[in-house]
Amino acid sequence: MSSNGERGRRAELCGSDEHPHPRPHHKQQSRPEANAIAIPTAENDQFAYALSSNEAWAGYKNHQNPTFFPKLAAGQSPSILWLGCSDSRVPETTLLGLQPGDVFVHRNIANVISPTDINSSAVIEYAVAHLKVSHIVLCGHTCCGGAAAALGDSRVGGVLDTWLTPLKAIRRDHAEELAAIKDAGDRAIRLAELNVEKGVQNLLANYVVEEHIRTRNIKVHGVVYDIASGKIRDLRVGNASVMPGAGKEMAAPSKMEVLQGNHGVLIFKEGGSAMTVG
């Protein structure tokens, strides 16, 4: 989405010194000579770093709790299905303060939930019907490149324009409201919110989700994650704020929603704020 204004300019910073995160001493790979093996082997390489990171993490987890991995291997029973954006700044277990085994995850560009997308549909079916999750959290976020691209007028290229068509459609449906927002960043946030709202509607209309709301009262949540502050905002667009079967708002004193992972808790509070506990 490099052709789209501010976001594009940011994307082009890739590989420059202006990186938001410090990295392991990364040596830029140069174009390989003919027949040269390009697989990085240097010990200061990113790839080697990730693998050794894993070794350290596994060793630490095992040291902390020797039954941790054997238990994991026995099976999963996550209570949350997380549908989020592929964006590297929104790692779900980190920002939810949850552990391996807690949350079943699907992430795609701009957290688009289209009724006919076989990829997300298969994930939803598997999580809801087979793993029997209790909560579905659809999470959009601020500074979303997909939203910014959909607000631009140039072609992104490749298959991306097709993928982002649902966002373009939302933009058209809400053209007046979006045009009235002066700040480009705020406009992208509003589009991200509308996209979550639309995705939640599609989830509620999904046959399997509908059936399991009826039989098990599963909850669908729509939230937006603010990258610059780390906070999750509940858009209250799902069925979570509605009493089971009653079709009306919950009584004021208990306007609080708790998502219980096996190791941590996510709490939705009145006023749209939320917090994470590790």
Site for another protein in 21-40 (CB under 8 A): 21-24, 26, 29-32, 35-40
Applying the rule CB under 8 A, the residues between 143 and 172 that interact with another protein are 143, 145, 157-160, 162-163
Site string for another protein, 99-138 (x = CB under 8 A): xxxxxxxxxxx-------xxxxxxx-xxx--x--------
Rounded to whole angstroms, the Cα distance separating 223 from 90 reads 13
In whole angstroms, the minimum distance from the beta carbon of 125 to another protein comes to: 5
Residue number, 90 or 151, with CB nearest to another protein: 90
Is the distance from CB of 136 to CB of 128 less than 8 angstroms?
A: yes
In the DSSP assignment, the letter for residue 170 is H
Applying the rule CB under 8 A, the residues between 5 and 24 that interact with another protein are 7, 10-11, 13-16, 18-24
Q: Which residues contact 96 (CB under 8 A, 6 or more apart)?
A: 80, 82, 102, 103, 261, 264, 266, 276
Applying the rule CB under 8 A, the residues between 164 and 223 that interact with another protein are 208
Query: Known binding site for Zn(2+): residues?
Result: 85, 87, 141, 144
In whole angstroms, the minimum distance from the beta carbon of 51 to another protein comes to: 6
Residue number, 197 or 270, with CB nearest to another protein: 270
Q: Which residues contact 153 (CB under 8 A, 6 or more apart)?
A: none
Using alpha carbons, select from 200, 193, 203, 174 the residue that is nearest to residue 272.
Answer: 193
DSSP three-state, residue 231: strand
CA dist 170 to 146, 176, 190, 199, Å?
Answer: 13, 11, 11, 11
Residue number, 120 or 202, with CB nearest to another protein: 120
In whole angstroms, the minimum distance from the beta carbon of 239 to another protein comes to: 15
Site string for another protein, 66-105 (x = CB under 8 A): --xxx-xx--x-x-------xxxxxxxxxx-xxxxxxxxx
